[in-house]
């Protein structure tokens, strides 16, 4: 009976050792995986130096107090995951704040652009109106100038017509006076 109990104890110890080994390997892989993902500065900030030395120099096969070390490793892994999650959340929050600020700048720029486009449209309409008015005034000035030239030509013609008979009369008077002087 003792032999059977010893055999059962040995089998149970082997199973416990196997389970502990598998669990330790899993934790070891987790720790190494997490440590590989971190930069050295992150590791130094999050853990005490002596704890890190224990992890790197730790012989997982010869553990006297497995529960204590497994608990420490679990806490370290949980702390590391918490720190990484916190860091990611802070980065996400920072990026969201930057996106919000950029969106506000874009909205402000769009509002300014819309206002400038409206002002440009109004200015273009005013320019078209002014060009039209200027063209009309220029046409009126040309028309008035042409009419004035026609009036001036008519007046000059009349003067010429009026002055020609006077000129003829003056010439005749001169000729008559000359003849008179010659006859004397």
**In this predicted structure, what is the pLDDT of residue 45?**
47
Residue 60 is assigned to a structural domain of this protein: yes
Residue 43 is assigned to a structural domain of this protein: yes
**In this predicted structure, what is the pLDDT of residue 161?**
59
Average pLDDT for runs of 10 along the chain of length 184: 66 70 68 60 52 54 58 72 85 92 94 95 94 94 89 69 71 84 76
**In this predicted structure, what is the pLDDT of residue 165?**
72
Q: How does DSSP classify residue 102?
A: H
CA-CA distance, 118 to 140, in Å (whole number)?
33
Domains in the chain, number = 1
Q: Residue 90 belongs to what domain range?
A: 2-99
Residue 177 is assigned to a structural domain of this protein: no
Cβ neighbourhood burial of 68 (10 Å; 0-12, 13-18, 19+): exposed
**In this predicted structure, what is the pLDDT of residue 32?**
65
CA-CA distance, 9 to 15, in Å (whole number)?
10
Count of alpha carbons within 13 Å of 47, Cβ hemisphere only? 26
Residue 142 is assigned to a structural domain of this protein: no
Residue 6 is assigned to a structural domain of this protein: yes
Residue 87 is assigned to a structural domain of this protein: yes
Write phi, then psi, for 122 (nearest 5 degrees).
-60, -45
Residue 74 is assigned to a structural domain of this protein: yes
Residue 109 is assigned to a structural domain of this protein: no
């Amino acid at each position: 009976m003792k032999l059977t109990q010893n055999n059962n104890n040995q089998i149970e110890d082997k199973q416990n050792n196997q389970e502990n080994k598998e669990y330790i390997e899993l934790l070891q892989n987790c720790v190494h995986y997490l440590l590989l993902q971190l930069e050295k500065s992150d590791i130094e900030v999050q853990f005490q130096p002596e704890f890190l030395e224990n992890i790197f120099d730790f012989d997982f096969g010869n553990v006297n107090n497995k529960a204590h070390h497994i608990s420490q490793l679990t806490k370290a892994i949980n702390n590391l995951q918490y720190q990484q999650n916190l860091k990611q959340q802070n980065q996400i929050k920072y990026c969201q704040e930057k996106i919000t600020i950029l969106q506000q700048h874009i909205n402000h720029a769009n509002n300014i652009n819309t206002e400038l486009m409206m002002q440009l449209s109004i200015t273009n309409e005013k320019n078209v109106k002014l060009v039209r008015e200027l063209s009309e005034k220029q046409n009126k000035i040309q028309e008035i100038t042409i009419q004035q030239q026609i009036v001036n030509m008519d007046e000059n013609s009349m003067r010429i017509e009026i002055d020609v008979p006077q000129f003829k009369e003056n010439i005749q008077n001169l000729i008559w006076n000359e003849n008179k002087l010659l006859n004397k």
